[in-house]
Structure 1
Amino acid sequence: MMSASLNKKLPLLLEQCLFSGTGFVVNIALAKSMGLELYGVYASLIIISYLLLSISQALVIQPMQIHVGKTTDDSSYRIVLIFLQCFLILVYFTFFFGAYLANTSLLAIGQEDLLPFLLYLAFFLGYDFYRKYFLATAQLITALIIAAAFALSTIGLLAFHLLSTASTDLNTYLYLLAAGQLPSIIIATVVYWRSVALPDLQAIKRYFKIHIIDGQWLLYAAITQWFSGNLYVMASGLLIGLEALGALRFVQSLFGLVNILLQTIENYVLPQLSKAYQVSLQHCYRAFQSALGVYQMIILAGLGVLFLFAGQVLRFAGSAEFVPYAYVLRGMVVLYAIIILAYPVRLLIRVTELNRSYFVAYLISFAFSLISYQFLLTHFGVTGAVIGLIGNQLILQATWLIVLKKNQFNVWKLYIS
């Protein structure tokens, strides 16, 4: 039984290793080759890309994860999904071109970098769309194949460039990163478009209601969540100096793999939990325990190692100058332990489609950030940033628990049968 379960989940784990490992390696290579100033410009583009990604996920990906297991006509649903994704990309392009023509400096890049950035953005969003779809529909082998293509082409192109030339232009790197995603985009497109069918008018109306009307609370939550999560980081550079900001960003980067792992688990288990919820609430409770228990224990064990050996980890991953900030790493471990322990609560909110409550919780946490960030950063420095992030998470979980209790859900059954 255990062996069969591991064999079934092996492609998911391999896909996760390829995807997150590639991102980790590319980030290190870019930071070392670009230099601090150019990497800072690149990082600002990535932050903007993730804001746009969060919008796309709210309107396209997240509703799809819930409803793809319910639809009886996946072939027509795929047409609507790809149309929505392409429409959003077109909106983003129009916005940036309009800002450029109006001479509005929204991006810290020159004219020569705009086109490669938009090309990178389109492929970045396209790859994420295909990846999340194949994971949500349990097409794990396909997801693994496109992850392998992404890893080989991206690392190969970047390694060839770094070994063959000393050029460090931003547009060159953006073109390379875009080209690295092209093989996986081609493979995914071929698989995705097999046996598609045009939806009828009633189906189009039904799908649009799901993604536009029902997804609006997810959109509000995504934008609020983005600002809530980035406010302390953005303000720390202004209030407590670049050294503390660098330490905080470096420590956060060490948890990037955990973030991607959580996203991948959610992409895979959410459709299964949604199906279980359609059967019965008790069946859903049991599905939560079987789907999440092992993952939670593994991640918590890894966090325990980070807490115990924080100084050594910072010395190995960075340098001796980061060791005095070991307390920041330990604080972030506490934050992620809270996130992992309460993860079933978040997923139950998603499965039961309490999207308004999902948004309200993030709105309350964002209000807490706005009220507290200046006091915490001014009086406690980078420790204040960690305290604020932990406070945000506790507010989220408390709000969701109140909502679930009000709707008569037995939250303890998510953990104990």
Structure 2
Amino acid sequence: MDLRPQPPCHGGGRRGARPVRQPSSLLARLRGPALLSLLDQGAVSGFGFLSGIAAARLVDMEAFGRFALVLIVASVAQAVHNALVTAPLMTLAGSARSPARYASAVVAGAVVLAAILALGVAGALSLYFAARGEAVPLDLVTAAGALTLAQNLQLTARRLLFVSDSGGAALVMDLSRAAAFPVAVAILWALGIPLDAVRLVDLLALTALAATLPVLVPRAVEPGRRTVAAAALRHWQMARWLLPVVLVTFGQEQLVWILAGASLGDEALGGLRAAQYLVGIVLLMLTATENVVPTGAGRAYDTGGEAALRAYLVGVTRRLGLPVGLLLVVMAVPADLWLRLVFGAPYVPYAPCLRWLALGVVFIFLRDMVGQIFRARRRTDVIFRAFAVSLPVSLALIQPLLARYGATGAAAAVAIGHGASLLALLAALARTKTPPATPAQSPSPRPEEGSPRC
């Protein structure tokens, strides 16, 4: 599935204008960065999916709920890290005057931020357990901090490898981590060491660090204060609207899971997380396009203006919409069957949660496609405002739905929140006037107006 903008037409020798043909050989396709991105995201998300299933099978439902809680809070920290470090990196790396010095500045900033976020996760979990009137599990809290540090460093290493055209190395790094975790679990099992949430989180952290350090250590050179300051300023200029989006989306999803765990117990949180793992198969497809679609949309807008941007995104939506919709139907209709087969009979009562979350993925897909328009226009502030408008909807619905419908109400609150943000973004798009195209962005003539069709 090629999600890149179509290449322009060029003159072709004595026979006149001919379209540029893309290499069709399998070898050429396998060397493409888009496929490497897809494979790497498949390795990362597939590992997350399989490790979650393994955790659910290896420990009881309550312990799995605690394991899920750690991953939820750590994912918030990773979203903050992505907004401040890795998302701007993907845009700014191509224009860096000295790629090596810029990479070293990114590594230095990433290490500091990852350490701060690790402490934040440990503190947040301590407050969570204290608020429930429980003793703070220091071993679990410490493991959660270590996992946060390790995963954020791994995310940074992955993005640095991709921007330096070393996607294959990123794939090797992520596959090595994915292979090391089950080996470590098998060793503990063979030694008769009992597995619980703490040991599973510890293993996730250790395998992430072991895979990441060989990539980051060679880049950990002194970048100079001026380089770090300049990189931080440029990152902040992009992140100042992305970071608030992280905060408002936290209120739409992760906060719901945390409140569900606090009010319904760890078992309910485990059931919700199991349902989320299954729809995560579809989210994998959407996440895998993140290294391709934003770049393609931005290139289409810069070279062809608003018309080219919309044509590109309509094409992407059509090509992705069918497989996404088909997978969601296959997942949602026999939801109880999938939960029983994958996680076991105790998770079957959470089938309605899976159906609500599948509906939420539909909203996420459509929202992402609309959001690409504003990202290509460099108007991420509009995306933030759309999320900010929908946030009160989620906050108003969380407690009533939890109180009346339990875990199903929590899943419904998440889906409705995603739907509200989609509607808010569509309303913003309808209100926004199309920006006038600059000469460099003027749309090219349509095929019927004189240019050959590519």
TM range (shorter): 0.7 to 0.9
- Residue 198 (structure 1) shift: 4.4
Aligned position for 2:172 = 145
- Residue 123 (structure 1) shift: 1.4
User: Could you list the runs of 5+ residues in structure 1 that have no partner in the other structure?
Assistant: none
Q: Hey, what's the Cα distance between the residues in 2 that align with 1:233 and 1:182?
A: 27
Deviations 1:75-113 (A, max 9, x none): 3321232222112123235657889999x9599754455
Aligned position for 2:431 = 406
- Residue 200 (structure 1) shift: 8.7
Q: Hey, what's the Cα distance between the residues in 2 that align with 1:17 and 1:263?
A: 9
Aligned position for 2:303 = 279
Contact 2:121 2:148 in 1 (8 A): no
Task: Specify which structure has the higher proportion of helix.
Answer: 1
Residues 240 and 18 of structure 1: CA distance in aligned 2, closer, same or farther (over 3 Å): closer
Aligned position for 1:391 = 416
2:335 alignment partner AA: A
Aligned position for 1:330 = 355
Residues 180 and 101 of structure 1: CA distance in aligned 2, closer, same or farther (over 3 Å): closer
Residues 236 and 117 of structure 1: CA distance in aligned 2, closer, same or farther (over 3 Å): closer
Task: Trace 1:85-164 onto structure 2 (pairs within 5 A).
Answer: 85-92=110-117, 109-112=136-139, 115-135=142-162, 139-164=166-191
Aligned position for 2:386 = 361
Residues 72 and 229 of structure 1: CA distance in aligned 2, closer, same or farther (over 3 Å): same
Identity of aligned residues (%): 22
Correspondence for 1:67 among 77, 80, 92: 92
Correspondence for 2:216 among 179, 182, 189: 189
Q: 2:247 matched to 1:223?
A: yes
Residues 100 and 143 of structure 1: CA distance in aligned 2, closer, same or farther (over 3 Å): closer
Q: 2:75 matched to 1:50?
A: yes
Q: Secondary structure at the match of 1:56?
A: helix
Contact 2:84 2:243 in 1 (8 A): yes
Residues 226 and 183 of structure 1: CA distance in aligned 2, closer, same or farther (over 3 Å): same
Deviations 1:13-71 (A, max 9, x none): 33233222222222222233333344333333222211211111111122223333444
Deviations 1:193-224 (A, max 9, x none): 6xx894794x6555323322441221122022
Aligned position for 1:315 = 340
Q: Secondary structure at the match of 1:166?
A: coil
Q: Hey, what's the Cα distance between the residues in 2 that align with 1:87 and 1:246?
A: 32
User: Could you list the runs of 5+ residues in structure 2 that have no partner in the other structure?
Assistant: 1-21, 436-442, 448-454
Q: Hey, what's the Cα distance between the residues in 1 that align with 2:433 and 2:244?
A: 25
Aligned position for 1:12 = 37
- Residue 233 (structure 1) shift: 3.0
Contact 1:65 1:271 in 2 (8 A): no
In the comparison of the two structures, how many residue pairs are matched? 408
Aligned position for 2:231 = 207
- Residue 241 (structure 1) shift: 7.3
Please identify, of 211-220 and 31-40, the stretch whose mean Cα deviation from structure 2 is larger: 31-40
- TM-score, with normalisation over the residues of structure 1? 0.82
Residues 336 and 94 of structure 1: CA distance in aligned 2, closer, same or farther (over 3 Å): closer
Q: Hey, what's the Cα distance between the residues in 2 that align with 1:341 and 1:263?
A: 13
Q: 2:185 matched to 1:168?
A: no
- Residue 227 (structure 1) shift: 2.3
Aligned position for 1:270 = 294
Residues 90 and 325 of structure 1: CA distance in aligned 2, closer, same or farther (over 3 Å): closer
Q: Secondary structure at the match of 1:215?
A: helix
2:330 alignment partner AA: V
Please identify, of 92-101 and 273-282, the stretch whose mean Cα deviation from structure 2 is larger: 92-101
Deviations 1:148-201 (A, max 9, x none): 2111222211222222223336554444222212342134226756xx894794
Residues 108 and 299 of structure 1: CA distance in aligned 2, closer, same or farther (over 3 Å): farther
Aligned position for 2:16 = none
- TM-score, with normalisation over the residues of structure 2? 0.76
